[in-house]
Chains A and B, each alone.
Chain A
Amino acid sequence: MPAGPAARDSRPPGPYVGWISMDAFFNQAFAGLSMASILLMVALGLAIIYGAMGVINLAHGEFVMLGAYSAWLLQTYFGFSILVSLPVVFLMVALIGLAVERGVVRWLYHRPLDTILATWGIGIVLQQLVRMGVGTDSRYVARPTILDGNVVLGGVVMSNYRIFVVVFSIAVLAATWYLLTRTEYGTRLRAVIQNKEISECYGIRSERVYAMTFAYGAGLAGIAGALVTPLVSVTPTMGTYLVVDAFLVVILGGVGSLMGTAVAAGLVGEATALFSFLLNDTLGRVAVLCAIILLIRFMPQGLFPDRVRR
């Protein structure tokens, strides 16, 4: 403990390890966990779309943004709480995703590089449409009153809403796992991923599977966007920041692994929160990026590579 009453007063109370307040540490870790949960939902959609079709969807951040604006719209004009809006937002953004897939992406499946450019362009168009339609002002969405309040554990204050986000994202992960491994749609999708030709010979319409998958991934992004609204302000460019982290998560987790995506989302979310806490926001970002570059240098396939022989 440092000497002098002035130094002691300016620091939060509670136990310390060295110069780090344990309460502040755990509060930051919890904030990191809730951001990791949002990240997980964004990254799941990205990973599924990339894993299934090899499409790097640079418009994914805009799907997040559209989800956020949908939540704002539903709250401002219809008075819906986010909890009520979630299924509606999922459907709205999934439909937009479906339109993007049917209108543009499906023509480019055999030209993967061009899908990057095309989806980037779509992202810019969507951003600009929102700017023109809603304006550039930041919008705010109130968190549902039912989730007001905090859970206090010692010196750690966890808002009920953030706890809800964490639990909800785990539920989304479980639902996605179930959808992919235990339903007929999932089996069809996994068949098409592994052998498109033979899947079609056995009656599977691969293009319909692709369209559904793209829409599902977009819908997940929309949900993430809606859920993040009480935590950050809603702007036309909000998706960009999230999607960069989500790409890092997908690369770190290893393509084609739900488990990898989940673990990587946790790692990136926590690392960002803790590095920012120990250093500062900017240096924290730098540290996270360096850590990921190092990891990928030694594990190019990501943390959970697919080791099955073909």
Chain B
Amino acid sequence: MLEASALFSYYGKSPIIQDVDFRVEAGSFTSILGRNGVGKTTLLRTIMGLTDAITGALRFEGADLARMPTHRRGRLGIGYIPQGREIIPRFTVRENIVMGTYARADGKRSIPEFIFELFPILRDFLGRRGGDLSGGQQQQLAIARALAMGPRVLLLDEPTEGIQPNIVRQIEDVILKLNREMGITVILVEQNVGFARRASDQFILLDKGRIALTGTGEKLTNEVADEYLTF
């Protein structure tokens, strides 16, 4: 579904992602792991076309992403849930979710009902401003916005970072449910090895902008975690 080969991605003249190859199958769950600053976020931003330049190949369902403007990548069904959530603070919750539908290919602007079944709190807060929600609620809103587009694949960047522990579990369960029950492909940047191991079909371990190790969830042993993820 999503394929990269010999992928380099730049900020200015600095290559942040270097010679990366990977393949993500439709319906699978991929975790991207690594210490801070190894390029995990940059890899997701590269898929969305938010870095300055890329070389190499990047394809999504046969379409060439490498030379495609960001707004068209969204319309292919790539739902991006960035680090720090980046919901629109002065938009109401409703406006934030409706914004997700602007990436729909079918032009529909209604909010799919299942979103409120996943996140009942958002229905109660429809008229509130996004900036007035708590961190956990904003994260739910960011996921809801991506779901409103009817995504084929979700790119999640540390969705549980800085969120109170009782909501972390709830968000993890929703992500699993979207992948297992609704068949949405998930690419997750995560620091939490436990969840990555439990959820992933495949993991990609980055170190200094390159892939250090890839494999299935079981291969993500404690020894591997110690070597590449502890400080």
Contact = CB atoms under 8 A, between A and B. Distances in A.
B90 A200 contact: no
B70 A194 contact: no
Contacts of A202: 74, 99-100, 102-103, 145, 149
B89 A203 contact: no
A51 to B, nearest CB: 12
A188 interface: yes
A145 B99 CA distance: 47
Interface stretch (B7-15, B80-88, B117-125): B80-88
Contacts of A204: 71, 99, 102
B131 A309 contact: yes
B161 interface: no
A281 interface: no
Interface in A256-310: 308-310
A3 to B, nearest CB: 63
Given A191-B99, A198-B82, 14 more contacts: A187-B95, A187-B99, A190-B88, A190-B91, A191-B88, A197-B50, A202-B102, A202-B103, A203-B74, A204-B71, A204-B102, A308-B129, A309-B89, A310-B131
Contacts of A191: 88, 91, 99
28 contacts: A184-B102, A190-B90, A194-B89, A195-B88, A197-B50, A197-B70, A198-B82, A198-B88, A199-B99, A200-B69, A200-B74, A201-B48, A201-B73, A201-B80, A201-B82, A202-B74, A202-B99, A202-B100, A202-B145, A203-B75, A203-B102, A203-B149, A204-B99, A205-B71, A206-B71, A308-B131, A309-B89, A310-B89
A308 to B, nearest CB: 5
Interface residues on B, range: 20 to 34
A188 B98 CA distance: 10
A199 B75 CA distance: 12
Contacts of B103: 201-203
Interface string B124-167: 00000101000000000000010001000000000000000000
Interface of B: 48, 50, 69-75, 80, 82, 86, 88-91, 95, 98-100, 102-104, 109, 129, 131, 145, 149
Nearest to A188: B102
Given A202-B149, A204-B102, A194 B71 contact: no
A118 B3 CA distance: 43
A279 B129 CA distance: 48
Contacts of B72: 203
A194 B91 contact: yes
A202 B88 CA distance: 12
A202 to B, nearest CB: 5
Nearest to A308: B90
B187 to A, nearest CB: 14
Q: Which of B73, B89, B99 has the most CB of A within 10 A?
A: B99
A184 B82 CA distance: 24
